[in-house]
Amino acid sequence: MRSLVDDVKDRLDVTEVVAGYVKLTNAGSNMRGLCPFHREKTPSFMVSKEKQIFHCFGCGKGGDVITFIEEIEGLDFKEALRLLAERAGLDYRKYQVSAGGQSDAPDNKETLRRALEATTVFYQKQLDFNEGLKAKNYLAGRALTGKSIQEFRLGYAPRADDKGYPAALFSHLRGLGFSPQAIVASGSVYKKDNQAAYVDRFRERIIFPVADSLGRVVGFSARLLPGSDSQQGKYINTPGTILYDKGGLFYGFHLAKQAIREKGEVVMLEGNLDVILSHQSGVCQAVATCGTALGKKQLTTLCRYTQKLILAFDADMAGVKATKRAAELAWEEDLDVKVIPIKTGQDVADIVKEDPQKWAKMVEKKKSLAGYFFNLGFKNRVLSLDQKKTLADKLLKLFASIPSRVEQSHYLKRLAEEVQVPEEYFWEKIKQNQRKNHQYTKTQPAPEKTSGKKSRSILLEERLIGLIFNYPKLFFKYRERFNRTAFESEVVKRIYQDIKKILDKMSPDLVKSQDINFESRELQLKVAEIALEVEKDLGPDPDENREKAEQELKICFAALEKEFLKNQRFQLLKEIKMASINGDKNQMESLMERLQTVSKEIAR
Ligand SMILES: [Zn+2]
């Protein structure tokens, strides 16, 4: 029986799927682009249509179409497979056994997802009844259109159920057959201490569902309905659950990601309403953090989509602080950061309500972040020279992390003019700081290659496998030599046995790499990766480069033999040492003789 993995891979072309995320250009028989998994300026991310794999020669990430979706969407294998199955028009429920060999029984996450979906629908419906109408009025008053309310799936959480218990959602979900445990695990209901009663977490609140990058609801952000007398904060959120990890989520991301890719930038806002109204005004590349400051994990997610971050936080103290923090983090990640200055007391929602065009224009006229801080400090302010110097020192600390040298130099110059000291003074200070920092913090380590530390023999063995995979005709010419080779790497050994089994049955004149298929997905991927590396070095056309390949094959064999001999010599030396300790003269002599032979072989 065919597996879902096979069918998915048959129906979907890895280059097309990847092209939905990464801009690819032709590079010989492969496609090439900037790696979405690490930051780079020259593309080392390759996608092979023929081998149906991707591989980054910069950071070592690689795999097939399923691996790619796992990595880029942050899904596990099963989830990625389902997503792709849907895209390929396959019904995954028809496949009895999942790729991992386990049965596809609905897991915990699946139940939570269904509960969250049912919860969302429940809240949405409430907008048309009783108290919910007040919420709807409020949203209309903030200039939200019905379309936006639909698109962002806004809703209302009622105060109580029909009997007056604060558990309207809970009874609804129970009625749908969800267990109390599942309902609590989804985060929208909690159990009161020492009591049997379950209580809805959100009551009398406007509900903003928070979704993952695929648009599946994972939690909620709930705003108090103006006029209600709750003791709790204006906003409360779903607490951390197995699906809701606020540090890795953005509000509105699933609706923004397409625009983020197309415009090559992301606009970071503070509030949920800001995001919705921004989308409503046509600025759809806007998202907000979920009740947290912008963190490293979120920036990593963003980096997969764009390198340009535009911050639009309030101009109040908190807003400036947040902007500064975000800037430092983003600069550290090498992002290009711009800012949209917003007047104190205003928020994006107000601006859009007033004039939707105006917001779009403000986004277009975004400013350099360094310039924003510069103006914030010096523009329209009368400062004493001392005050200026203190300010300059503060700004210098910030400007030290601007990744662009050109921009940095521009602002150091302006700073020097403002405080009337030579520019060199600031450069010297930056250098001093860097020296100091180096003593304490290590510079960021280079992305770790997955290959790790391999012995030279294993690298040579892999190269041999890559060569016969790309140039299978060579196998027949060197069959004897291959058979004599004892592979050190277990994986290479298994790959070689598979290749041999296939090639032994074929005629040398007709054989093509495409005919070599492996039973194990793991081996298939490994071979493709090795073969891609060979292809990158030797060129894509097997007929054109056969001579080069044959030459390399010979070199590899020779080097492998030498490695083998060196290992032997090493072993012999150890044995000789042991024999000398034991005073075994006969043994010593015979070992020395063997050592001589081996040494001669090596020198040959
Ligand atoms: Zn990479």
304 CA distance to ligand 1 middle (Å): 11
Q: Residue range 398-419: average pLDDT?
A: 84
Q: Phi and psi dihedrals of 159, rounded to 5?
A: -70, -40
Residue 360 has pLDDT above 90, yes or no: yes
172 CA distance to ligand 1 middle (Å): 47
Q: What is the pLDDT of residue 242?
A: 86
Residue 529 tokens read as: 């990766």
Tokens in use for 516?
């070599």
Q: How far is the CA of 568 from the centre of ligand 1 (A)?
A: 38
What is the Rg, in whole angstroms, of the alpha carbon atoms belonging to the chain?
32
CA 253–ligand 1 middle distance (angstroms): 23
156-to-202, 275, 577 alpha-carbon distances in Å: 9, 18, 82
Q: Quote the pLDDT of residue 544.
A: 75
Span from the CA of 21 to the centroid of ligand 1 (angstroms): 14
Are the CB atoms for 588 and 580 separated by under 8 Å?
Answer: yes
SS3 state of residue 453: coil
Distance from C-alpha of 165 to C-alpha of 367, rounded to nearest angstrom: 52
What is the CA(536)–ligand 1 centre distance, in A?
Answer: 16
Distance 45 CA to ligand 1 centre (A): 6
Q: How many angstroms is it from 390 CA to the middle of ligand 1?
A: 42
Report the sign of the C-alpha dihedral through residues 567, 571, 572, 573, in that order: positive
285 or 326, greater pLDDT: 285
Distance CA 504, CA 510 (A): 12
DSSP string, 252-281: THHHHHHHHHHHT-EEEES-HHHHHHHHHT
345 versus 147: the higher-pLDDT residue is 147
Per-residue pLDDT at 436: 64
Average pLDDT over residues 451-462: 76
Q: How far is the CA of 40 from the centre of ligand 1 (A)?
A: 8
CATH code reported for the domain at 4-94: 3.90.580.10
Ligand 1 centre and the CA of 418: distance in Å?
A: 42
User: Looking at residue 488, what is its pLDDT?
Assistant: 86
Return the pLDDT at 453: 61
Question: What pTM, to 2 d.p., does this model score?
Answer: 0.66
pLDDT tens per residue, range 576-590:
888 888 888 888 888
Amino acid at 542: P
Say how many Å lie between the CA of residue 44 and the centre of ligand 1. Answer: 7
Q: Which residues of 339-376 are buried (b: 16+ CB within 10 A; e: fewer)?
A: bbbbeeeebbbbbbbeebeebeebbeebebbbbbbbeb
| Share of the chain residues as helix, strand and coil, in percent rounded to the nearest 5 | 55, 10, 35
Ligand 1 centroid from CA 359, angstroms: 36
pLDDT above 60 for 442: no
Q: What pLDDT is stored for residue 106 in this prediction?
A: 41
| Residues 216, 86 contacting (CB under 8 angstroms) | no
Max Cα distance, the chain (Å) = 102
Is the pLDDT reported for residue 102 higher than 60? no
Give distance in angstroms: CA of 233 to centre of ligand 1: 43
CA 62–ligand 1 middle distance (angstroms): 9
How far away, in angstroms, is 70 Cα from ligand 1 center? 15
Ligand 1 centroid–CA 36 distance in Å is 7
Q: What does the CA dihedral 548, 549, 553, 554 come to, rounded to 10 degrees?
A: -30
Query: Please, what is the average pLDDT of the chain?
Result: 85
Order of strands across the sheet with 235-237?
155-157, 205-211, 217-224, 235-237
Ligand 1 center to 43 CA (angstroms): 9
User: Which pair of structure tokens corresponds to residue 543?
Assistant: 């007929």
Provide the CB-side half-sphere exposure for 507 (13 A, CA).
Answer: 2
Band of the pLDDT at 107, cuts 50, 70, 90?
low
CA of 209 to the centre of ligand 1 (A): 33
User: What is the share, in percent, of the chain residues with pLDDT greater than 90?
Assistant: 28
* Torsion sign over Cα 477, 479, 484, 487: positive
Which range among 66-80, 131-145, 465-479, 530-544 shows the weakest confidence by mean pLDDT? 530-544
- CA 34 to ligand 1 center in whole angstroms: 8
pLDDT over 50 at 99, yes or no:
no
Q: How far is the CA of 74 from the centre of ligand 1 (A)?
A: 16
Whether pLDDT at 405 is above 90: no
Task: Mention every residue, 6+ apart, whose C-beta is less than 8 A from residue 352.
Answer: 143, 277, 278, 280, 281, 358, 359
Q: 37: CA distance to ligand 1 center in Å?
A: 5
Q: Which of 7-16, 511-520, 558-567 has the lowest mean pLDDT?
A: 511-520
Q: Where are the domains of the chain?
A: 4-94, 108-244, 250-365, 373-440, 451-604
Tell how far the Cα of 577 is from the centroid of ligand 1, in angstroms.
47
Please name the residues in contact with 64: beta carbons below 8 A apart, sequence gap of 6 or more.
Answer: 9, 14, 52, 53, 54, 521, 524, 525, 528
Q: Which residue has the higher pLDDT, 511 or 482?
A: 482
What's the CATH class of domain 250-365? Answer: alpha beta
* pLDDT of the residue at 268: 93
User: How far does residue 38's CA lie from ligand 1's centre (Å)?
Assistant: 5
Contact 398, 373 (CB under 8 A): yes
Q: Give how far the C-alpha of residue 287 lies from the chain's centroid of Cα atoms, to the nearest Å.
A: 17
Distance 452 CA to ligand 1 centre (A): 15
Taking a C-beta distance cutoff of 8 angstroms, is the pair 52, 44 a contact? no
Residue type, 445: P
Position 133 scores a pLDDT of 94
Give the architecture-level CATH label for domain 108-244. Answer: Alpha-Beta Complex (3.90)
Determine the distance separating the centroid of ligand 1 and the alpha carbon of 533, expressed in angstroms.
14
Q: How far is the CA of 27 from the centre of ligand 1 (A)?
A: 17
pLDDT band at 392 (very low <50, low <70, confident <90, very high): confident
pLDDT tier, 546 (very low <50, low <70, confident <90, very high otherwise): confident
Q: Tell me, what's the pLDDT at 286?
A: 96
Per-residue pLDDT band for 437 (boundaries 50, 70, 90) equals low
Segment of 212-221, 326-335, 514-523 carrying the highest mean pLDDT: 212-221
pLDDT at 110: 85
- pLDDT single digits (tens) 33-91: 998 888 778 888 999 888 889 998 888 888 999 999 998 888 888 889 999 999 999 88
Distance between Cα 548 and ligand 1 center (Å) = 28
Report the range of poorest mean pLDDT among 52-66, 243-257, 460-474, 526-540. 526-540
Q: In angstroms, rounded to a whole number, what is the distance separating the alpha carbons of residues 463 and 475?
A: 13
Check residue 152 and give its pLDDT.
97
